[in-house]
Amino acid sequence: MNSRTTALVIALVGVLLAGAALTGVALLTAERAVAGQARVSERDLRLAAFMPSEANPDPSTAIPGVVRQSYDPGLHVAAPQRIAYDHSPPFGGRHDQVWAACNGVVYPEGVRTEHLVHSLEHGAVWIAYDPDRVTGAERAKLAERVEGKPYLVMSPYPGLDQPISLQSWGHQLKVASADDERIDQFVTALLLNPSTFPEPGAPCDPGPGGFDQDAPPPFDPTPPGPDAQPPI
């Protein structure tokens, strides 16, 4: 590796780490640089275009299919109160006062939606999937993106109208396959992006006496009912 190539790699790693923070692409690129590999993958370079910056605070605007909606933060309810959400899965609005653990956990069963929406308010990305259509290798590809990675969370969402749906606060993307490149673009653009969620610095580990990560409140597939509150 000549000195010019080395300098370029170090500079690119710095940009990736500054922009992506905790995302997998930054960690992967840093590992390659430490190992002395000069070649940064084409995938890493493509994802670099979706890292937020002062000039481009919300790179998700360049991702086809992303739905955006503004929601007021801090609107809390207490379980078992239901919310009549305006999207399924929801990606903002009123939510439970207790957030779901979103510390790289892959839940084997569906989790109460009102808790997961609170996690989005903290900067998390929630990957939901239809358990009838996403199984085996497809599910494993999603889980690999999430497991052990802070501010990422994954859970089945029975009845989902598409195989896979990604949510961050005020943003949603639905895709048909775990191989869709827009999944990584969405995570890169929106995970802990301080320009797109209302509570920077809020935790994703469960608080004491609050959410039980090992026995979470279950997903409720029934309609919310007449006593449900509106999302905004």
What pLDDT digit, counting tens, does each position of 203-214 carry? 999 988 789 999
pLDDT for the residue numbered 210: 84
- Give the residue-averaged pLDDT of 18-30: 45
Instruction: Choose between 124 and 7: higher pLDDT.
Output: 124
pLDDT for the residue numbered 208: 81
Q: Within 13 A of 27's CA, how many CA atoms are on the CB side?
A: 8
* Segment 102-123, tens digit of pLDDT: 999 999 999 999 999 999 999 9
Q: pLDDT grade, residue 41 (50/70/90)?
A: confident
Q: What secondary structure, in 3-state letters, does 55-108 show?
A: CCCCHHHHCCCCEECCCCCCCEECCCCCECCCCCCCCCCCEECCCCCCCCEECC
| Residue 230, φ and ψ in degrees, nearest 5 | -75, 160
Collapsing DSSP to helix, strand or coil, 193 comes out as coil
Cα distance between residue 77 and residue 202, in whole Å: 18
Confirm if 114 and 230 have CB atoms less than 8 A apart.
Answer: no
* Segment 129-184, tens digit of pLDDT: 999 999 999 999 999 999 999 999 999 999 999 999 999 999 999 999 999 999 99
Instruction: Choose between 1 and 39: higher pLDDT.
Output: 39
19: pLDDT strictly greater than 60: no
Helix (H), strand (E) at residue 133: none
- Give the residue-averaged pLDDT of 60-65: 98
215: pLDDT strictly greater than 70: yes
pTM, entire model: 0.83
Q: pLDDT grade, residue 75 (50/70/90)?
A: very high
